[in-house]
Amino acid sequence: MTEPFDAVDVIVAKREGRPLPTEQIEWLVDAFTRGAVADEQMSAWAMAVLLNGMERREIRDLTFAMIASGERMSFEGLGRPTVDKHSTGGVGDKITLPLAPLVAAFGIAVPQLSGRGLGHTGGTLDKLESIPGWRADVGSAEMRAQLADVGAVICAAGADLAPADKRLYALRDTTGTVESIPLIASSIMSKKIAEGTGALVLDVKFGSGAFMPDRERAETLARTMVELGADAGVECVALLTDMSVPLGLAVGNAVEVAESVEVLSGGGPADVRALTLALAGEMLALGGQPDADPAAALDDGRAMDVWRRMIRAQDGDPDAPLPEARETHVVTAERDGVLAEQDARAVGVAAWRLGAGRARQGECVQAGAGVLLHAKRGDAVRAGQPLATLRTDDEGRIPRALEALAGAHVIAPAGTGVPERPVVAGRITA
């Protein structure tokens, strides 16, 4: 087969900052998927995109080409509106767990395709797999049946959903091109659009524990993704949320499941509940129920009922005890004062080093590993008071976790004012 373009010409054009025509982008993605463009060539092209960016039209073309590389799901005839949510990831970000059953309690279908953690940010599937028996792999027919019956599915994406993105993401992760906004936006949105959801709420995080620490860049990413949704006919809303401190008090796998169950029981940390309700409100509005009261469904048990049915539908036991780590270590405050800072990235790296996360795709994680926080930013603390408990099955992991936490907790003199930072910092629509 004679190829209509040459990969080197496409790489050079982008290296020189020239926009690529639609047909070249479509060919590049297709040829890469077929193996006609080598990994080394696609890596060089990704680096050129990182350095020179892409126009909106190019990003749209790239997104649609990645969608076309695989199957496109459809939930037509389901009998319920479908609304999904995507988070760009953070530390202690367990929001999907209480959010999906909460929204489903109002008759809206939530087809939540999720991933696994890498580095300092946790993965939804890793967390749920700490529940005895629960499985992440759900076929298309089973997914549709569970949505019709229970209303919510949290599962792994199938191999045929935007396969070009899977291959490209693996290259980006090993070639230093992950931070490119065009590549991030097209990666996320190609999967979400191919998933077939009717509407989408995006939780785009900024701050030390976020994938994109700078707020301005996070806002640019959010706008780019909302625009891609509009181009594809998928109504999108994005919330900009603060990830400078961990969400909640639990960072890990089983510990985050336990905290999610607290939220579903009407309790839980205030910030986790607040963000869950904010995202639920957006999802319910997109699903045609702008006046619904998600707080009431947390407090009266409706969301918990859906959670239990959702876990059982995927062979999990919602009543089984969650795994506990064999070893613990307590970190205490060095002085009296006010906890002025609690660095999210440092806590996330500590949890990762304790075994809650992985350095490479495919590595196993410890279900019981993680960090339990005993104080939050703005709290008064006393010398010797526990600030965090480290949990792991391997005592030898604790020293490196403590290295990560060095300087993570900044204690200011008593009486120091610590300004409040709202969890939700902005909202973006098309």
Catalytic residue IDs: 86, 165, 172, 187, 191
Q: How far apart are CA 162 and CA 177, in angstroms?
A: 19
Written as six digits, the tokens of 132 are 């005895």
The 10 Å Cβ neighbour count of residue 36 is 14
Q: How far apart are CA 280 and CA 264, in angstroms?
A: 13
| Amino acid, res. 225 | M
Place of tokens 């190019």: 58
Residue closest to 125 by CA, chosen among 353, 134, 389:
134
Q: How many residues does the chain have?
A: 430
Q: 3-state DSSP call for residue 381?
A: strand
Q: How far apart are CA 95 and CA 105, in angstroms?
A: 16
Place of tokens 């199938």: 158
Place of tokens 């890469």: 32
Residue closest to 45 by CA, chosen among 10, 4, 19, 18:
10
Which DSSP string do the residues of 244-257 spell out, in sequence order?
Answer: SS-SSSEEESHHHH
The 10 Å Cβ neighbour count of residue 136 is 18
